[in-house]
Structure formats: structure tokens, C-alpha cells
Structure 1
Amino acid sequence: MGKQLERDLGLPAVTAISIGAMVGSGIFILPGLAMEMAGPAVVFAYFLAGVLVLPAALSKSEMATAMPEAGGTYLYIERAMGPLFGTIAGVGTWFSLTFKGALALVGGAPYLVLLFDLPVTPVALTVATLLIVLNVVGAKQTGRMQIAIVAVMLAVMVWFIVVGAPSVEGARFEGFFDGGIEGILGATGFVFVSYAGVTKIASVAEEVENPDRNLPLGILGSLVITAGIYVAIVTVMVGVADRAALTNTETPMQVAAANALPTLGVAAVVVAALLALISTANAGILSSSRYPFAMSRDGLAPDVFETVSDRFETPVNAITITGGVLLVLIAFVPIDDIAKLASAFKILVFILINVALIAFRQGSIEAYDPSFRSPLYPVPQLVGIVGGFVLLRYIGFVPLVGAVVITLGSMAWYYLFVYRRGGVPREGAMTDALRRSVGRDVVEQTEAEVDAGGDEVLVAVTDRTSPAVERSLIDLATDLARTREGGVRVAQFDETPDQTPLPQSASTLTEADEAFEARMADRATDSEIPIRYGEVVSHDTRHAVVNYAAEVGVDTLLIERSTGSDTLLGSDVGWIEDHAPCDVIEVSNLDRDAVERVGVITDEGPFDPAKVAIADALSTAVGATVTFYLPVGADPAESRRNTTDDYLSELAGLCAAPVDARVVESDTDDAIDLAARDSDVLVVSGVQRDLTDRLFDRGSDPVTAGTEHGTLVVYGASRPGRLRRAVERWLF
């Protein structure tokens, strides 16, 4: 196990890191550009952005108390949605946070130029190098420095608000909504990145003291404080300066301060801007470097990123690679494009964060036990998801393309360097939640099948059916009808050539027909279940069977399993199974008097409801035990095993017969072998012909050729579509 990180960040440091990660380019650089889109309503855009960030803040606060480990966004999405989505979130968020750090450093250059005549890029690279070294030294030093920076920055901002408020002119807010809904939503999406830092502290949750208390308080408290500051400052900026002056400058905060504060105040604002932008970059390095660290621990990134320094107790390699990317961005990448890309990807990530919380709540991850729970769940999460997609609609085409590129690149990394090496033996809570949802749906369908009453069972035979097979089919039909309080019909289907007229009366009965009538009369007399019988003569047996089943309204059709054209219905069986208006059961080698164990073989998914109902009815009638065989693969995830156990337990509760559920920690072939070895009768689903073929192709056909096993191949009338089957097979 890798070395653990020291918990030495208290609530002041947590709040300071969050505020410092937010208050930077969002207030010192972006207001002028956003005002160009929305006009005076830029004030409302900052407020709306804060509201739409709140759901993700609530979601992340809850998940952070359940999983106070390094990794933040990556960790939660990976645990919720699986390794693939975790890789996308980890790689994408790592890049976007690093981009934002570069934006803060280069974006602070115009303010730096106001004080000193220095070259922008070398200074930005120098500051970035110092911050990288500081983060290597330790999070405690980082947190202490962050507290000092935020304290100075907030003091200057409060000064600006208090002194500037009396100078606000109401006339400057005329035509507040002239920019229209598109302008407001466009500006909201543009400034959304201003709040992105609110959840950054979760990425260093493993280093937070008393995370159950300090994480939610720090995240939500910093959001409320920052949103209030943003709205107040932007209100003063709009109210004290001309619109043209704010939209045509790279230092809008300084322009507003020059109209509201004395010279000393303007200098203080410039210094605060520099401190804010440095703190944003510092928080970006601190949090983004934990993403490769956490991904490495989970097997989604090279092991080198997991190394923790013995001296400084920080993930030195992860910090170093993050710093290297930051330096490259500062030196070579256009900042405007990076800012838009970061904002678009942050919206996408926050959407995924809200989806992740829903997945955790709906899943069955036993280790998920947060001490803080998002209030009013799931309303805030749904608002955050819908609101995020609305903002993406107005943020622009190019940023979305960039986000898609990052997403595809992350997927390529996963499939090329993780999945091909065996992947990660872990699944997300969303997979488990979906499995539970599908399982509940199947259980409800199964309950309806098992509890169905008044079933009419049709036994279809021909003049070539042997008396022994005929007797076996009628015995099974009687058992099914008895448990379901229904009746039995037996029909002998005879086929004549097309050129031969169909008989018009019983006088044309053959000797075989008369023998059939005699056997049925004796059987009906001895049976406690009503048995009706007769012959059906046609030119096309398969159509006759289907039409007769529909005409008399039967619920279940029993036929002999065909192994060639000389038995029963021959090649017509497949067509009948596909077109019959009821459940169809192919019966092979059934000796009901010898049945003690009825094995239900996996569908490579949840069991077909019709199959479960048939197995239960037969077992109840003959006093046998039903055994369900469900493979889950070797070393299944804990959530999969738990959900599978719950599903099988619910199935057992629906059955009247005794049930023995066997979870096979191997593949489907092993489950089939086990079932064939331990069962007197095997019940399989005909929907999956490939699985049925595997069963009957084993050796010398042990199911049909031997004397130890009978087989019922069930074709349910209500069959899931291909997509549904694919989803069920993937989940189960």
C-alpha cells in the first residue's frame, strides 16, 4: 500500500484554499468581457452562475465526507461511473485546472505591468516555478500561505465595496436586461469558471483535519462568501464606471477602483489582483497535482505518480509533471482559448458530479456512508444537470469541440494503456444502480408470471409422437395447470398434401387418430384437471399450431424438443416459437417421477420471468427444489456480488417451491457444466440460442442422449429486444 498523506489542513485553510481558488481571474479579468455580452445584467450572470454551481458543491460536499481521499472530482466520478468515466474526469480536470492556473498567471500580467515595467512571460514562468517548489515542500506551508493571501485580498475587496458603494449611480443599470436571455446565459457560462475552485479542496481531502466537518463547511462557506463578494464587486464596478471603459480594458477592476477609491486604494486593488491570481495558480497546482496521484493509486496512470516524498510527504512526481505542463502552457498556449475551454469542461464535469451523487444514492456501495447529506435530494442535482446543459448550449462551438477532444483523448488513454492491460477490477455505483433498476423491473415481471392464474396449457403432438413422449407432455401440462388453477388442451396436428381435400367429418379418422382419441378419453377420465382434446388437420402444420393457440387463447404451448426432421414438428419448431402468441416450452426426456432438483440455467443476464415461473410450477407440483445458477465472473466487484445476492433473494421469495441460489464465480460455461451435473431437469431460455446450443453441443449431448436429465427450453411470449438483452448481459 502506498504512503498516506498527512492530515494537517484545518477549516481556515480549507476555506482559504477554496476562496483563493475562486477569487482570481473571475473577478479581476472576466467582468469586462462578460459585460460586453450581457450589459449591466452581468451582475445577475454572476449570481446565476453561483446558483448553478451550488448543486455540484452540495454533491461534492457529501461525497467528500464519504470518501475523504486525494483525487476529488476524479475519485467521485470514477467510483460512481466506473474507470472509463473516471479516466475522462481525471485527465480532463487535471488539464483544465492546470489551464486555469496558467490563465491566472498570464492573466495577471496586465496588472503587473501597471506597477513594474517587466516582461510578462519570464515573470510568469518564475512565479510558476516558485509555486511548484512551494507545493513540493508541503500542503501545510501551502495552506498557511493561502490564508495570508486570502486575508489581504478580502480586506482590499471589502474596502472597495464599502468605499465604492456610495458612488454607485442607478442610471448605469438602465436597460438591465437589454442583452436578452442569450446574452445573460452566454455571460453566465463564460463566468462559470469563476466558481470552479469551490470544489478544488475536495481533491486534497486526504490532507484535511476532521473532514466530516471541515469539508462541507469549507466548500459551502467559501461559495457563499465568494458569490456575495462577486455580486457586490460587480455591482459597484458597473455602478461607478462607464460601460465602454470596462469592456475595453484588460484590467477592469483597476478601472473601477480609479473611479471609486483614492490612489492608495487603486494600488491596493492592483496588489490584491496580483495576490489573487497567484493564489489561484497556487491552488490550481495543489489540487490538479492530486489527480495523477489518485489515478496512479487506482491503476489508471503510471505508478510513478503515486510516489510520496519521505521528506516532504507530498506527491512530488505528480506535482512536478503538473508544474511542467503549467510552464509549457504559459510559454506557448493562447490564454483566451484556454479560458473558454476550461469553463466548458468545468460545466461538463459539474454535470457529471451531480450524476455521480445520484448514482451513489441509488447504488448499493456499502462503504458509501457520508456524514453530510445534500438537502432536498435529488432536486438540486437535477437543477444542476439541466442548468449545465442549458449553459453549454450558449457557451459557443469551439469550447465544446475542445472539451470533446479532451474526452476522446482520455478515452484513448484508457483503452490503449489501461483496458488492454486487463483494466481495473472495479465498477461504478452507476452500474450497480442501473443493475438494481433492471433487476427490480425483472423481479416485477417475474412476480406477475409466477402469480398468474387460470392458465390454459396446450399440448401439441402429431401422429408420429410416441405414447411415452405424449404422456410426458400431458403430465407436465397437468402439473402446470394444477399449480396455476388452469386447464389442459391436447391437440393432435395432422398434415395432408395440398392437393388432398381436408376431411369434413370424424368418419375419416385413421386408426392412429382413433387410438389417440381412446388414450385421451382414458386420460381425461382419470385426471383431476380438465383435459380437452381433439385433432386438427391442415395443409400447413406450423400455421395450424399458431392459429389454434391464438383461437383458443392458450397461455402456454408444450411441444417435444426436435432433434431432426423426423421428430414431432421438425424444422417448423423455430417458426412456431417465433410466432406463437404464448409461452412455448420444448420438452426433452422428462421423467417427472424422478425429478428432485430443477436447475435454472443463466440467461447471461437476469432470468427470463417465464422460465422462473415454469421451473417453480414444476417443482411445486413434484416436490422438487429449484436451483438458480448465475455466473458473475472471477473476483466480482463487491457491489455486483451484493446486487446479485439481493436479486436472487427476491426471486426465491417469489417462488412457492424451495429455492437454492448458486452464484458461480466463473464463466457461463462453468455454470452450465455445474447445472447439468447436479440437476434432474434443466430449464433454459430459448431466447439465447447461442447459450442453448452450447448446452446441447456438449460431448454426446448429455442432456438429451442420457437418462439422467430432462430439459425444458422456454421461449417467453414477452421477449426483450436486442438492446435490452445487451444491457442485461453487460450488467449481470
Structure 2
Amino acid sequence: MKELERDLGLPSVLAISIGAMIGSGIFILPALALEIAGPMVILAYALAGLLVVPAALSKSEMATAMPEAGGTYIYIERGMGPLLGTIAGVGTWFSLSFKGALALVGGVPYLLLLFDLPLKPVALGLAAVLILINVVGAKQTGRLQVAIVVVMLAALGWFAAGSAPGVQSANYANFFGAGVGGLLAATGLVFVSYAGVTKVASVAEEVEDPGRNIPIGILGSLAFTTVLYVGIVAVLVGVTTPGSVAGSLTPVAVAAEATLGQAGVVAVILAAILALISTANAGILSSSRYPFAMSRDKLAPPSLSTVSDRFGTPVTSITLTGAVLLVLIAFVPILDIAKLASAFQILVFGLINLAVVAFREGSAEYEPEFTSPLYPWMQVFGAVTGALLLTQMGTVALVGAAVITVGSVGWYLFYVRPRVSREGAATDAVRRRVGRDVLAETETGIEDPSREVLVALTKNLDEGRERSLVAIAADLVRPDDGRVVVVRFEEVPDQAPLTDDVTVQSSDDISFETRMEGLSAELGVDVEADEIVSHDTKHAVVNFAENRGVDTVVAEHEPLRLRSRLFGDPIDWVVRHAPCDVLLVDNLGYDAPERIALSGDGGPYLPLAVNVTEALAAANGSGVSLWYPADRKDSHQYERTIEDYQSELSQMLSAPVRTESIRADGGRPSAPDLVVRRGTDERLRNALLDERPVIPTPGCTTITVYPRRSGRPRFARRLLERLTF
């Protein structure tokens, strides 16, 4: 694949960044912001510049680690994954195109002060020229940008220096009149004035010595532009009558006429036209690199990453971006779209800050030449303040940003997902953190075994199956010299009174208690037998467990038919209401198992399931097999994380451990004697969707574990497991 030529030096980098910022931010937006905040608009520009600093630092860091075309898209895609990368790439591409179109249309009113020309045809003509310049090459683009910025800054400098003596302190009266709400609203509006600071990163692949020039270019241009904005807006407010500039299409020209006369107006017009052209030029240059970079990563059609043999530029990507720009100028209300672009830019800056955290905390290779200071507080500050500003953008802007987001998600689902299997550093960082938390819970559970287990006999069982349940319970309590309580629950009709007659022990009851005494001696644990008669077995089981304070209930549970799975049987109700852990046994016999399989669904194993496996394996000298699905298409990061998790888990267990992949079609490398797996009490979803860990029919006893409510993973943890595993 052809590479882009590195021919943008530090002057070009500074020029691209400054030129991208000094446009609508100073020549159009002050008039709109004055209507919101009054003289406090000066503070709004300073605050907006401050709030951009975290994103500027984050982008500088990531750009030196990954100096590739695509900038924002590259960093968010690598850090947060292809889904958020697609949203960032598509959204930023559109927002930069919107801002470029706004710059061209916003610059024409200044031109109309000198010439009587139609607005849209002139804007379309300027756009066409800039598109051709970008097709010719980045070097020409950078040189043009330097020339434009030098002339523009000279004109603005003359305006500021020449107008400063005319500043009237009375124009700053009632400076804080708009309050905090007005300040934040104005800050949100002018925030987009600084969006250009990050455009350098989108052409990072074409920058000479990126480790040095990118941080200097981004941070230097931001500092310079913030001071320039605050100074010019302060002069603009100070030399004009309060209210005379608010809402004007040419606010800087109005101020120049009041202090410098017609010559000042001409200079401002020249600066405004050059500034807005440079904004559009930088917008085409940087936004066209987003589809280019996305195409190289298979998030967009391959034709968009083709580099021209003649010009050395991504002509198809530039042409597509130019076509969007022309359509926006011709048909779309640009000011409304600019507000949408501003809202999305704030959102993307928030993601940029989070992406740095993802890279630093994840396991991906990440070696930036420049590192952001005050990590991670700087990034947290940027993300939180960005969210605050979003609330000030208004309903229309937020809805529009949501539409762009939904469209990007749709593109990801239908085009990207079938072609891309990689994931972001954040996913792996969160997955490893979830794994560490689960391992900590598992270790705590292993050190705190069950002390008293209730074996609830709710059905008539033969002696072999009865013994299996008691043997399982005995193995659970043996490490702590605990007790097994075996209770036969008998249910009588509601119309039958619970008199002394129904509670008299039968010969069968006496035989049952005798068998339990024999099992106590055989298994080497204290076994207590009892019988309970009630009108409602499920309530009786739960009440007994609660009053006795048992740690675990063990009961037999046969596979259920659809009707039973929908409406349940007594033991299903017990699972949902028991004050303790519940183990349901699909009982095919239990007698000193040689190998116990711990079944998982690809994520962390449930701590209770691990603890049960450990106790049973330790009691019988069994080996343990860690089962995991083999029919998944997983990233290398996922595989490494799972291997590390399984390795740490194996070190916790006293039994010899091996890992085995299983297939949904029933294939597996070995046949265990016992399977332990996670259970779910979502009865309706189980019935209709059969949402269980994917394991083949084991052909042996299976224990499904249900932790007590206090031990169940919270919704947020389960959601993270679903998303990351």
C-alpha cells in the first residue's frame, strides 16, 4: 500500500491549526454569543479555550504514539473499539465538512460589503477551487495555509492595535449580568471555535518529526489562538455600543468601521475572507483523511484509501468530502448544521479523553513520545466538562447528534461488523479489571466455605439419588467440619388441616432417618434428618433455610418441559427467594468423580461455581477442566486476557487444572464425571431463548449454581461482562 509523503513541517502544522481555528470563531460567532452572554462573552472564549486543553493534551499524546492519517478516528477506534471509532470517524467527518461549509457561507457577507455578489454561487466557486488545491497535494495545501495565516494575522493585529485606544470601559458594564447559565451557554456555542486545534492530528501521517512538531503545533496554536480570541473580542466589545454588534453578520467589520474607518473595514474584510477560506481549506484537508483512514481499517469501502499515482493524495476521499461540502452549501441551512457539528465535536473531545485512559490502562502496545500531565485527572476533567457543555447546546443540536450517532451505528452493524473482528484498548482494560474483581471474589469464597447445608428433598427419590445429594452436601461442608441437614418436605392439600395425625412419623420416615444416620457415619460428617409437612413446599423450604440460617440449599432439579419452564415448579420459586445459595442438581449419580468440568460462557466463571468445584474436587482428589466456548470469533487481545485469567484462576485451585474448548454441537475432548455451571433465574427468557451457558449434553450429573442475592453480580457488572467478554 502506498504511504502519504511526510512533507508538513512545523510552520505548516501551526498554520493548519491556527488557520482552522481563526474563522467563524472570531468573524461570525461573537455576534451570536453577545446575544447570550453580553460582555461576558470575553470570559466565554477564555473558558472554552481552557476546556479544550484536556483534549489537546490527549490528542498530542496519542498523535505521537500513532502518527497516522485519520486523527480522532484512529485514536478512538484503537482505544474504544470499531463501534465508537465508526461513530467518531463518520461524525467528525461530517462535522468538519459542516464547519467548512459554514466558513465559506459565513465569509461571503464580508465580501458583500465591497461587491454586490450572490452568496451561494460565490461560496460554491470557492469550495470548488479549494477541493482542486487539496487534490494537487498536501505540500501545496500547507504552503497556501502559511500564506493565508500570515496575511490574516497581520490584518487582525492591525485591527486590535489600532482599535484598542478607542475602548470604552462603560461598554463592559453589567459584565456578569447573564449569570453562570449565560456563560456556559455562550461557552458551548463558541467551543467549536477551537475545534480546529485537533485537525493537525488528522494529517499526522504527513507531518515531519511528529514526536516534536505535533505537540508543539497543537498546544502552541491553542495557546496563541485563545489569547488572540480573548484580545480581539475584548476590543470588539469595548469599542462598540452595547447591543450594536449582537446579531450582526459582520461584527468585526462593524467594530473596525467605528475605530479605523473605511481602511479598517477593508483590512477586516480581507482578513475575514482569508480566515474563512483557510478554515474551509483545513476542513477539506483534514476531513478527507477520515474516510481514508477508515477505509484502510475496513470501516469504509476500499476505494476511499486509494492514493493517486499522479498527486500522491487520496483523490477519491477528497472528492467525496468535496461533494458533501458542495451539497451542504447549496441545500442545507448551514447555521443549524454548525450547531449540530459543535455538539458532536464536544462529544468527540470527551471520547478522546477517555481513549487516553483506555490506552494507558489496557494491554495494547502504546508508547507515546509525549505524555499528558496530570493523568488521569486532566482527562476526567475534560470528559465531565464536555458533558456539561452538551447540556447547554439545546434540544435540536442534541437530537441531531443522536441521529448522526444512530446512522453511524447502523453503518457499523451492516457494513463494518461482518468485516472487522478487532476491539479497542478500553474493552480489554475493562475486561481485565472485571476479571481481577471476579478473581478477588472467588478467592474470598474459597477461604469461606459453607458451614451448614440444607438438602431439600421435595420429590420421592430412590436411595441412590438421595445419597448423591447428601454426598455433594457432605463434600461442601467437610473442610470446615460443618453440618448437613436433610429434610423431606411433604405437601398436603390446602383443605387438609395440619393436625397431629399428619405429623406422626411413618415407618418410611423412620427408615429415612436411619439411612441418614448411616450416611453420617459413611461420609464422615454430621448429618441431621427431619421431616416437614406443609401446605406449600416452596415456602416451607425458604422459611426453614431462613430460620436455620443455612449457607446453601441443595435440591434435585430435573430438566423441565416448556410449560414447566414458563410457569415453574416449587424449586424455581425457591431459587428466587432463598436467603442463601442454591445448588440444583440434575442427578445422574455422584460417587467420587475423577474429573469435574467447570462450564463457562466465555466470560469469568461465577465465583460460587468455582468455589463449589474447588470443594468437590478437593474432597475427591478430582482433576478440574475449565470449559470455554470454541465457536467464537475472538480477537487476540481477548484470547490473551482469557488465558491470563484462567492461569490465575488455576493457581487458586488446589486441584490439577486444564482448559478445554467445547462446541455447541456436542464435541469436546473429554467426558467429565460432573459438570458445574452458572444458573439464571430469568425463567421467561430461559424458556423462550434458552439463554444458558453453551455446553453439550454432559451425560453426567450437572450442578447449576445460583448465588444468594447479595452474592449475585450487579447489573452493571453483568453488562460489562456481556460487552467485554
The answer as to 2:239 corresponding to 1:246 is no
CA drift of 1:354 comes to 2.6
Match for residue 439 of structure 1 among 435, 438, 444: 435
CA contact 1:32–1:246 (8 Å) conserved in 2: yes
In structure 1, distance between residues paired with 2:534 and 2:113: 99
Q: Of residues 553, 560, 569 in structure 1, which corresponds to 2:556? A: 560
Deviation at 1:188, TM superposition (A): 1.6
Match of 2:702 in 1: 711
Corresponding position of 1:473: 469
How far residue 392 of structure 1 moved from its aligned partner, in angstroms, is: 2.9
Bigger Cα displacement from structure 2, 649-658 vs 141-150: 649-658
Q: CA deviation at 1:508?
A: 4.5
Equivalent position SS for 1:212: helix
The partner residue of 1:490 within 481, 486, 489 is 486
Indicate how the Cα distance of structure 1 residues 647 and 696 shifts in structure 2: closer, same or farther if over 3 A, else same: closer
SS at match of 2:438: helix
Alignment of 1:330-409 (within 5 A): 330-362=329-361, 364-409=362-407
SS of 1:585 mapped into structure 2: strand
Local SS of the residue matching 2:530: strand
For residues 657 and 129 of structure 1, do their structure 2 counterparts lie closer, same or farther at Cα, with a shift above 3 Å needed?
Answer: same
Q: Which one-letter code corresponds to 2:583 in the other structure?
A: I
> 1:684 maps to which residue?
677
Residue type of the partner of 2:301? P
Q: Contact (CA 8 Å) 2:671, 2:698: kept in 1 or not?
A: no
Deviation at 1:366, TM superposition (A): 1.3
1:83 aligns with 2:82: yes
What SS does the corresponding residue of 2:112 show, helix, strand or coil? helix
Q: Are the equivalent residues in 2 in contact too, given 1:58–1:220 (CA < 8 A)?
A: yes
- The verdict on how the C-alpha distance between 1:155 and 1:513 changes in structure 2, with shifts beyond 3 A counting, is same
How many Å apart are 1:266 and its aligned residue? 4.6
* Contact persistence 1:503–1:537 (CA under 8 A): no
1:234-266 C-alpha deviation (Å, 9 max, x unpaired)? 112222232344236432222323344476555
Distance 2:395 2:690 in 1: 50
Alignment correspondent of 2:316: 317
What is the letter of the counterpart of residue 678 of structure 2? S
Distance apart, 1:731 and its partner CA: 3.0
TM-superposed deviation, 1:119: 4.1
Secondary structure, aligned partner of 1:674: coil
Whether the 8 Å contact between 1:463 and 1:513 is mirrored in structure 2 is no
Distance in 1 (CA, whole Å) between partners of 2:396 and 2:533 is 71
- Counterpart of 2:411 in structure 1 is 413
* Paired residue secondary structure (2:310): coil
Contact 1:453 1:486 in 2 (8 A): no
Name the structure 2 match of 1:576: 574
Which residue does 1:459 correspond to in 2? 455
Change (3 A) 1:524 1:697: closer
Question: SS of the residue aligned with 1:712?
Answer: strand
* Other-structure match for 1:57: 56
Distance 1:29 1:483, change over 3 A: same
Q: Give CA-to-partner distance per residue, 1:630-680, whole Å, 9 cap, x none.
A: 227544123322332333234334333333234x4x76x15x6427x3322
What is the identity, as a one-letter code, of the residue corresponding to 2:619?
A: A
CA distance, structure 1, for counterparts of residue 101 and residue 656 of structure 2 = 66
Q: Could you say if the C-alpha distance between residues 150 and 510 of structure 1 is closer, same or farther in structure 2, counting changes exceeding 3 Å?
A: same
> 1:652/1:180 Cα in 2 relative to 1: closer, same or farther (>3 Å)?
same
Q: Is the Cα contact below 8 Å between 1:686 and 1:692 reproduced in 2?
A: no
Q: Indicate how the Cα distance of structure 1 residues 187 and 542 shifts in structure 2: closer, same or farther if over 3 A, else same.
A: closer
Shift of 1:554: 1.2
How far 1:280 sits from its partner (Å)? 0.8
SS at match of 1:232: helix
Change (3 A) 1:485 1:147: farther
Structure 2 residue 509 is the aligned partner of structure 1 residue 510: no
In the TM superposition, residue 604 of structure 1 has moved relative to its aligned partner by: 5.6
Cα distance change, pair 263–474 in 1 and its aligned pair in 2 (3 A): same
- 5+ residue gaps, structure 2: 562-567
Aligned mates of 1:485, 1:137 — CA distance in 2? 83
User: Matched residue of 1:108: which SS?
Assistant: helix
Q: Kindly provide the CA deviation profile for residues 210-255 of structure 1, in whole angstroms up to 9, marking residues without a partner as x.
A: 2222222211111011001111111122222323442364322223
What SS class does the counterpart of residue 395 from structure 1 fall into? Answer: coil
Shift of 1:563: 5.9
The answer to whether structure 1 residue 271 and structure 2 residue 264 are counterparts is: no
Which deviates more, 213-222 or 241-250? 241-250
AA matched with 1:64? A
**Structure 1 CA distance for aligned equivalents of residues 691 and 87 of structure 2:** 40
Q: Distance in 2 between matches of 1:332 and 1:640?
A: 46
Q: Matches of 2:658 and 2:266 in 1, distance apart?
A: 79
SS at match of 1:348: helix
Q: Distance in 2 between matches of 1:506 and 1:164?
A: 104
Distance 1:693 1:398 in 2: 40
- Structure 1 SS opposite 2:583: strand
For residues 80-109 of structure 1, what are the alpha-carbon distances to aligned partners after superposition, in whole Å with 9 as ceiling and x for unaligned? Answer: 333333222222221221121122122221
1:96–1:345 Cα contact (<8 Å) kept: yes
Deviation (angstroms), 1:597: 1.7
- Cα deviations by residue, 1:441-500 (Å, 9 ceiling, x for unpaired): 433332332221452122334794333333333332222112244222233444556676
Aligned twin of 1:643: 641
Shift of 1:190: 1.7
Query: 3-state SS of the aligned residue for 1:247?
Result: coil
2:565 equivalent in structure 1: none
CA 366–494 in structure 1, closer or farther in 2 if over 3 Å, else same: same
Alignment of 1:43-122 (within 5 A): 43-122=42-121
Q: Distance in 1 between matches of 2:247 and 2:590?
A: 91
Instruction: Report what 2:139 is aligned to.
Output: 140
Q: Do the aligned residues in 2 keep the contact of 1:293 with 1:318 (CA within 8 Å)?
A: yes
Report the Cα offset of residue 206 of structure 1: 1.4
The answer to whether the Cα contact below 8 Å between 2:109 and 2:250 also exists between their aligned partners in 1 is: yes
Displacement of 1:423: 4.7
Equivalent residue for 1:706? none
* 2:2 counterpart letter in structure 1: K
Q: Decide which moves more: 630-639 or 722-731.
A: 722-731
Mapped contact 2:21–2:279 kept (Cα < 8 A): yes
Helix, strand or coil: the match of 1:427? coil
Q: Tell me the amino acid that sits aligned with residue 554 of structure 1.
A: V
Structure 1: stretches of 5+ with no match in the other structure: 704-708
TM-score (norm 2): 0.90
Distance 1:273 1:555, change over 3 A: same
Question: Matched residues in 2 for 1:145 and 1:21: separation?
Answer: 13
1:427 equivalent in alignment to 2:423: yes
Code of the aligned partner of 2:324 = V
Q: Contact 1:603–1:684 at 8 Å: present in 2 too? A: no
CA separation of 1:91/1:42 partners in 2, compared to 1, >3 Å: closer, same or farther? same
Q: Deviations over 1:399-453 (max 9, x none)?
A: 333323333333333344444xx25212233433443343344333323322214
Find the aligned partners of 1:484 and 1:313 in 2 and give their Cα distance: 74
1:531 match: secondary structure? strand
Counting only pairs closer than 5 Å after superposition, residues 613-652 of structure 1 correspond to structure 2 as 613-631=611-629, 633-652=631-650
Residue of structure 1 equivalent to 2:564: none
1:176 paired residue number:
175
CA contact (8 A) 1:685 1:692 kept: no
Map Cα deviations across residues 523-581 of structure 1 (whole Å, 9 max, x no partner): 4345543333333344544433332222221112223343689xxxx954333333332
Residues 475, 615 of structure 2: 8 Å contact kept: yes
Distance (Å, rounded) in 2 between the aligned partners of 1:416 and 1:46 = 41
Contact 2:626 2:658 (C-alpha < 8 Å) held by counterparts: yes
Identify which range, 40-49 or 627-636, moves more after superposition. 627-636
Once residues 486 and 247 of structure 2 are traced to their aligned partners in structure 1, the CA distance between those partners, rounded to angstroms, is: 90
Q: Report the AA paired with residue 399 of structure 2.
A: V
